Amino acid sequence: MELGVDAPERTGALTLSDGRALAWSSWGDPGGTPVLLCPGAATGRSLGFGTHLLAGLGVHLVSADRPGLGGSDPAPGRTAADFAADARALADHLGLGRPAVVGNSQGAPFALACAAAGTARALALVSPADEIAHPGLADLLDPGARALRDAVAADPDRAGRDLAQLGPDGMWDLVTAHAPERDAAVYRAPAFAAAYRRALAEGFAGDGAGYARDTVLASGRWDPAPEQAAVPTDVWYGELDAFHSPDRAALLTRRIPGARRHLLPGEGGSLLWTRAGDVLRALLSHP
C-alpha cells in the first residue's frame, strides 16, 4: 500500500506583514499545478499526501502550519478568515496564483474560508469535519460531539485550555482507537505511522494552543459559512467513517453551492491517502 507520505522536498517560513512567521512545506514540481493542503487536526506541514503521484500528475503540493502549530507563530484570537488571508500571502510569496485547496478533516473550515475569500480556484473536502454547531445536525450528534459543541458555546476560553492538554499521544489514541479496519491498516503502516506521529508532534508544538484554537473555531458556528464557498467543490467521504460527520457530509455538501459528494463504499476516514489519485485528478479537472 503506497500512501504518499514522503518527507517534504522543500521547507521555508514566510514573514507576514504583522511580523509573524508562517511555516510551509512543499512537494512535486514547483512549476506544476498548485494545490494547497489545509491539514487535519493537530497535524503539521510535514504530512503530505499522494507524494508518489505528484510528478506524474504535474502537481505542486504545498502545506502550511496554521498559526500556533509547528513552525508558525501564534495569532491569539485568530479566525478562519484570518487564515485565508495568511494563505493568500503564502500563495503570493510562492507564486501559486489561485491554487486548488484541499481541506482534510478539521482543515475543512479553513479550506472553505479560502474559497470564500477568493484565494482558492477549486476545493476538495476530504473526510471533512462537520459544523457540529449547525442546527441541522443537532439531533444527529453523538454524545462526545454534543459535549464539545456545548463546552465551546458555554466558555470557549476554558474549552480551549482543556483541549490543549490532549497532546500528540492523546490525539493518536483518539484517531486510532475505534478506526475501522480499512483505516487501521493505514495507521499501522510503518511509513504512515512515523509520518503521522511526526506531524502530531509539530501540531502540538509549544503549549498546544494552536490546536485548541483550531478546534474551538471548528466546533462553533463557521464564519465564513459553507454557503459562501462559490468555487467548484468535491466532497469526499467514506461510508465506514462515523467520526467526522454524523450524516456523512450530506448536509455540508448541500450547503456548498454546486458541490458534489463522492460517498465511497469500503472506505473510512483515511481517504486522503487511500484515494489520493482520485482527489487530485478531480481537482485538476476544474479549470
C-beta neighbour count of 58 within 10 angstroms: 13
Cα angle 260, 265, 266 (rounded to 5 degrees) comes to: 140
- Residue carrying C-alpha cell 463504499: 265
- pLDDT higher than threshold 80 for residue 1: no
- pLDDT higher than threshold 90 for residue 177: no
Distance separating alpha carbons of residues 177 and 141, to the nearest angstrom: 19
Q: How confident is the model at residue 240 (pLDDT cuts 50, 70, 90)?
A: very high
The neighbouring-strand residues paired with 60 are 28, 34
Work out the burial of residue 1: count CB atoms within 10 Å of its CB; fewer than 13 is exposed, 13-18 middle, 19 or more buried.
exposed
Distance separating alpha carbons of residues 281 and 242, to the nearest angstrom: 26
Topology given in CATH for the domain delimited by 10-284:
Rossmann fold (3.40.50)
Average pLDDT over residues 220-249: 97
Question: For 16-66, what is each residue's pLDDT tens digit?
Answer: 999 999 999 999 999 999 999 999 999 999 999 999 999 999 999 999 999
Question: For 134-158, what is each residue's pLDDT tens digit?
Answer: 999 999 999 999 999 999 999 999 9
